[in-house]
Amino acid sequence: MNQVMALVDWVLRLSASLKGLGVHLIRVAIFIIFVWIGGLKFFNYEAEGIVPFVANSPFMSFFYAKDAPEYKDYKLKEGEVDAKKQQWHEENRTYVFSKGLGIAIMSFGILTLLGIVWPKIGFVGAGLVFIMTIGTLSFLITTPECWVPNLGGPEHGFPLLSGAGRLVIKDVCILAGAVVVAADCAQRILAQKRD
């Protein structure tokens, strides 16, 4: 029994010592996710995929030339090529907006990662990640595609998340990570001021 308690104590002490590493791993995770997803915004399939979210958002729809729900007639499957539909996306500013968003997303990830060395920069990055994830989570309210549609079956609507909704809800973890990183940066900034 004493050996089990000693092992439990060792595991607890080891786990407690990993808190700083864990915060840095959150930074790295945000960096990887944001640079990767931001980079994908330069590809047409990703730009086309975010149209329902942006077009239905009261905060973002002004970036597009066309009003929702017109986009429904011009949806493309990932990897599909259709010149007429892609022309609609050109006219809608789908691709231009997506590239700008990609640059912003990658910048937020880089700023967050830089918080490992420069807490003020990391604090700004984490704040921007927090604001962005609030915006992303708002899609659960504004985007009909986030919920299983009523196609005649008994399973549809809230709380049944569609693939798009399941993609969005994961941002709750990123939001929590941004809070942890911002708190760490704030503690380090305050400690520097005391010195």
- The answer to whether 159 and 93 are in contact (CB under 8 A) is no
Identity of the amino acid at 156: H
Provide the pLDDT for residue 194.
82
Q: Alpha-carbon distance 136 to 155, whole Å? A: 25
| CA separation for the pair 26, 116 (Å, rounded) | 11
Averaged over 115-127, what is the pLDDT? 97
Q: Are 162 and 93 in contact (CB under 8 A)?
A: no
Please give the single-letter amino acid code of residue 98. Answer: S
Whole-angstrom Cα Rg for the chain: 21
What global pTM score does this model have?
A: 0.90
Helix (H, G, I), strand (E, B) or coil at 34: helix
- Mapping DSSP to helix (H, G, I), strand (E, B) and coil, where does residue 43 land? coil
What pLDDT, on a 0 to 100 scale, did the predictor assign at position 125?
Answer: 98
Looking at residue 2, what is its pLDDT? 86
Amino acid sitting at position 4: V
Please, what is the average pLDDT of the chain?
Answer: 95
Contact 136, 105 (CB under 8 A): no
Percent of the chain at pLDDT exceeding 70 = 100
| 182 neighbors 130 (Cβ within 8 angstroms) | yes
Q: What is the pLDDT of residues 42-70, one digit of tens each?
A: 999 999 999 999 999 999 999 999 999 99
Tell me the DSSP string of 48-86.
Answer: HHTHHHHHH-TTTGGGSSS-TTGGGGG---TT---HHHH
Average pLDDT over residues 14-19: 90
Residue 193 pLDDT > 90: no
Q: How many helices (H) and strands (E) does the chain have?
A: 10, 0
Question: Among 30, 36, 63, 22, which residue's Cα sits nearest to residue 171?
Answer: 30
Q: Is the pLDDT of residue 110 over 90?
A: yes
Question: What's the whole-number mean pLDDT along residues 100-110?
Answer: 98
When pLDDT is averaged across residues 162-182 and rounded to a whole number, the result is: 97
Mean pLDDT for the stretch of residues 112-129:
98
Tokens of 120: 């003020």
